[in-house]
Homo-oligomer: A and B are copies of this chain.
Amino acid sequence: MGKLEKPLKNGVRKGLGWQAEKSTLMQVAILESAIDCFIDLGYANTTTAKIAEYAQVSRGAMMHHFPSRLRVLQAAIEYLHKKRLEEYDTLMANIDAPDRALSRAVFYESVQMAWRYANLPSFTAYQEILAASRTDRELAEFMAPVERDFENQYREHAKSMFPHWSDLGQYLDLAIDVVVFTTQGMALSHMVQNKEARVDKMLEFITDQLQLIYSSAVEGRVE
């Protein structure tokens, strides 16, 4: 966030709300900087000084908007949460399912999108927070509803994407778990060798599994 100058008399807005606008602008810069810090430095090393430095704002100014470190972090987490919900929608909207048929291609694209989702910077930031929440009760309580939100989103999207499954909850849940647990497990395995090749194979494999689960689901309904 560089220096902002008030648009003068010939500017569009003549003062009214300029302060508020600048304020929200700075707040957004701070929250995004906090997220960048999570990614670059890790949750634990995200100090108020670093956030301010990233945002090119004095620490005092930041403390004016967010009176404590906890407030900044919680606001950043909420901001990140919204962002991730949006990113999910955007990614999944890009799935190319022209004829609405449950072809392998559709399954594969879904899996690939899930993998992309787990490779977004926002995912990394989110995992930093989740990891920290394991030993931080207060943070964990803050995160619980956020996590529920994501689980709901996964489920709702899957139901709308694959309406044939919507009355076969058991199988749908299993399919979601297969995709989510696997992609997250891979995303969190930073140091494995040959990662790309192995991931590619896993994605193909998961796709096969989804088809298999679907078959079972259909059979299950028939019986």
Contact = CB atoms under 8 A, between A and B. Distances in A.
A134 interface: yes
A45 interface: yes
Contact of A184 (B124, B177, B189, B209): B189
A121 interface: no
Interface of A: 40-45, 124, 127-128, 130-136, 140, 143-144, 147-148, 151, 173-174, 177-178, 180-186, 188-193, 198, 201-202, 205, 209, 212
Contacts of A188: 184-185, 188
Given A44-B44, A135-B45, A186 B181 contact: yes
A205 to B, nearest CB: 6
A48 to B, nearest CB: 16
Contacts of A147: 191-192
Contacts of A151: 192-193
B198 A177 contact: yes
Contact of A41 (B135, B148, B184): B135
**Closest 10 interchain pairs by CB?**
A185-B185, A44-B44, A181-B185, A42-B135, A147-B191, A184-B185, A131-B131, A181-B186, A181-B182, A177-B198
Contacts of A127: 131
A202 B190 contact: no
A176 to B, nearest CB: 9
A168 to B, nearest CB: 14
